[in-house]
Amino acid sequence: MCEEAAAAYRRARQQWLLPAVPIVPVALFLVAPFALFLFTSSSDLRLQLPRIRIEYDRHGEAPIDERTTMPPPPSPSPPVPGAESDDELQRLPLLRQLTDPPYSLGAAVSDYDARRARWLRDNPRFPALVAPGRPRVLVVTGSSPRRCGNADGDHVLLRAFKNKVDYCRVHGFDVFYSNAVLDAELSGFWTKLPVLRALMLAHPEAELLWWVDSDAVFTDMLFEPPWGKYAGHNLVVPGWHDKVYGARSWLGINAGSFIIRNCQWSLDLLDAWARMGPRGPVRYRYGELLGKALSDRPSYEADDQSALVYLLVTQRARWGHKTFLESSYMLHGFWVDIVDRYEEMRRRNHWAGAGGERWPLVTHFVGCKPCGGQYASYDASRCRRGMERALNFADDQILGLYGFQHESLNTTAVRRVRNDTGGPLDAEDEEIGRLLHPMFRTRI
């Protein structure tokens, strides 16, 4: 009896415990979140709880600290094309102060003429004169290292460089394109000076360096400057004697296209010229000086063109006698007066001799900014149309060598104008023959 009673008791106890087993986890599941919410709602307790943050694998990114309790900062907006980024600004050197030593392009170079003469003598394969009376010329140009801020800017710069390459190929010149700022202190239009100095020292075989702005277009592909005319000079700048030495006008020259000889005199000129260019207080102080010394110039920061005029008028004995102010042809032609007259020039002067009496050697788009910017002086669409016409006008002179021509100066579309029959000069066009590379002309 006792065993039967004990067994009955165990069966009754199991029936009573079994339904109670799932009650405990269910109760904890329902009550725990509510209790946790009440616990963490207190501001005193909330910050004491550890925060767990799950981060998936991000290739190439720095790990994130899980202890961070503040949300990450918003992503910076993309930089404006052509503008200096914060990172670039942080890498710039400190602004040169007026109490600092005068700026220098680099270590002083002395006795350069004798050293260069020795190098030329020891390297006869690289003569400074490629033919009697014909110097070795290095055309130098460039643009900003940053991409343009508008859709058409980079395309225009590419076509403008292609134009310079065509001109150099026709005349057998070397060409160097720079899109690097070699010295951060000489920014903007001053960047040409350290480039020219570096190229002079690196290329002793180059007798003349010809700087051409990125917005300047060769528009007479046949004409070549009269080198013999400049044999006694080291600097050739488009300009006018009376405007520079008489009126002291900062517009008496244009520094967008000039020729400089590879010699000690030129290195000294570049050093004296560059002292007015460091960004910051020095450039602004020299801008005030230029505004007082030159006529019709406001007192904004110093620019390279005004600085060169200042050197010529204030130190004429040192720099003026070796500087040739060229006005007999258009080493620099102001585009506003030119671009709408190309068709007329071509009809009237097709058989005339090359040079200023025919059409401009260089059409310079002063006041236009191919990359855009707040300092443009002319409407962008007007500039774009003018550059298109100038580039097509120059390109027609090259395409003619291959039997093609633009349908008009306002379009890039081309048409065939000559059917070749087996020889490059079947058209018997004397001008086409003269556009061949100098090495080939002698074989015609």
State mean pLDDT over 53-63.
Answer: 36
- The per-residue pLDDT for range 374-432, each reduced to its tens digit, is 677 888 889 999 999 999 999 999 998 888 888 889 888 888 887 766 665 554 556 66
State mean pLDDT over 29-54.
Answer: 45
Q: Which residue matches tokens 């150099």? A: 168
Of 81-90, 314-323, 353-362, the range with the lowest mean pLDDT is 81-90
DSSP 57-85: --TTSPPPPTT--SPPPPPPPPPPTTSPP
Helix H or strand E segment including 363: strand 362-364
- Confirm if 170 and 435 have CB atoms less than 8 A apart: yes
- Confirm if 148 and 369 have CB atoms less than 8 A apart: no
DSSP 180-234: S-S-TTS-GGGGHHHHHHHHHHH-TT-SEEEEE-TTEEE--SS----GGGGTT-S
Q: What is the DSSP letter of 339?
A: G
The string over 141-151, giving b where at least 16 C-beta atoms fall within 10 Å of a residue's C-beta and e elsewhere, is bbbbebebebe
What is the percentage of the chain residues whose pLDDT exceeds 90?
Answer: 51
pLDDT bin (cut points 50, 70, 90) of residue 91 is low
pLDDT for position 407: 87
- The per-residue pLDDT for range 281-320, each reduced to its tens digit, is 999 999 999 999 999 898 889 999 999 999 999 999 999 9
CA–centroid distance for 280 within its chain: 21
Tell me the C-alpha distance between 206 and 138, whole Å.
6
Token code pair at residue 307 = 């600085």
pLDDT for position 233: 98
State mean pLDDT over 76-100.
Answer: 53
Q: What is the DSSP letter of 101?
A: P
Q: Which domains does the chain have, with CATH numbers?
A: 98-441 (3.90.550.10)
pLDDT for position 10: 56
Rounded to the nearest integer, the mean pLDDT of the chain is: 80
- Find, among 293, 276, 272, the residue nearest to 285 by Cα: 276
What are the C-alpha distances in Å from 97 to residues 45, 271, 291, 322? 55, 18, 20, 32
- List all residues 6 or more positions away from 173 whose beta carbon is below 8 Å from its beta carbon: 137, 138, 139, 167, 210
- The per-residue pLDDT for range 107-155, each reduced to its tens digit, is 889 999 999 999 999 999 999 999 999 999 999 999 888 888 887 889 9
pLDDT for position 441: 55
- The per-residue pLDDT for range 160-188, each reduced to its tens digit, is 999 999 999 999 999 999 998 888 888 88
pLDDT for position 428: 56
- Confirm if 250 and 290 have CB atoms less than 8 A apart: yes
Q: Which residue matches tokens 């007026």? A: 98
Token code pair at residue 437 = 């590379």
**How long a stretch of residues is the chain?**
444
Tell me the C-alpha distance between 367 and 375, whole Å.
8
Token code pair at residue 393 = 């006008």
pLDDT for position 403: 82
- Find, among 216, 78, 84, 236, the residue nearest to 143 by Cα: 216
Token code pair at residue 158 = 């590419």
Tell me the C-alpha distance between 437 and 169, whole Å.
6
- The per-residue pLDDT for range 207-261, each reduced to its tens digit, is 999 999 999 999 999 999 999 999 999 999 999 999 999 999 999 999 999 999 9
Evaluate if residue 331 carries a pLDDT over 90.
Answer: yes
pLDDT for position 423: 62
